[in-house]
Amino acid sequence: MLELNLPFCELKIRLNKDNTEVWDFIRRKYVCFTPEENVRQHFVKYLVYYKGYPASHLMNEVTLNLNGLSKRCDTVAYDRQLIPRVIVEYKAPHIQIDQRVFTQVSRYNMVLKVDYLIVSNGLKHYCIRMNYEEGSYDFVNEIPNYTSL
């Protein structure tokens, strides 16, 4: 797989019949090891080991209801009161992050109303801080530490 713009981390990988699987330590199970899943596993470990997010306050593949349709957020980070504070959307490294990706994560935020939206393809990472009082948002240069949520 392509080297990512994230700190190196060990992944627990196994071959299972016809595909390769990776251990998702958040979901506590093996999942298909796709390029997007590679980004997720590296990014989640970055959040935990470098940004101080408790693994117990992260959830992968969070289902939500959006206008009667079932959708899934890639990762949601919760604060200590278990209020959603961050949505992270992942794409495979070969997928360009464009307006469609930001629209996708913004739709999820219509339901969760978090403080930060993060989009990453493992090579480029974008973080948006929402300002609900002013009805605006700002791109920020750094992924927030958990303590600043």
pLDDT in tens, 107-118: 999 999 999 999
Q: In the numeric block, which tokens belong to residue 76?
A: 């949601």
Is the model's pTM score more than 0.75? yes
78, part of any domain: yes
8, part of any domain: no
User: What percentage of the chain reaches a pLDDT higher than 70?
Assistant: 100
Residue 1 has pLDDT above 80, yes or no: no
3, part of any domain: no
Residue 144 has pLDDT above 80, yes or no: yes
Say which CATH number the domain at 64 has.
3.90.1570.30
Distance CA 116, CA 139 (A): 10
What's the confidence (pLDDT) of residue 16?
87
Express each pLDDT in 40-70 by its tens digit: 999 999 999 999 999 999 999 999 998 899 9
45, part of any domain: yes
2, part of any domain: no
Residue 139 has pLDDT above 80, yes or no: yes
What's the confidence (pLDDT) of residue 17?
84
- Confidence at 2, pLDDT banded by 50, 70, 90: confident
Distance CA 109, CA 123 (A): 23
> Structurally, how many domains does the chain consist of?
1
Closest CA to 119 of 54, 69, 65, 74: 74
- Confidence at 90, pLDDT banded by 50, 70, 90: very high
1, part of any domain: no
Residue 81 has pLDDT above 80, yes or no: yes
Listed in sequence order, the residues at least 6 apart from 58 whose beta carbon sits closer than 8 Å to its beta carbon are 26, 44, 47, 48, 75, 76, 77, 78
**Domain extent at residue 106:** 13-148
Cβ–Cβ < 8 Å for 79, 58: no
4, part of any domain: no
Distance CA 125, CA 89 (A): 10
Distance CA 77, CA 144 (A): 11
Question: CB-based burial of residue 30 (10 Å sphere; 0-12 exposed, 13-18 middle, 19+ buried)?
Answer: middle
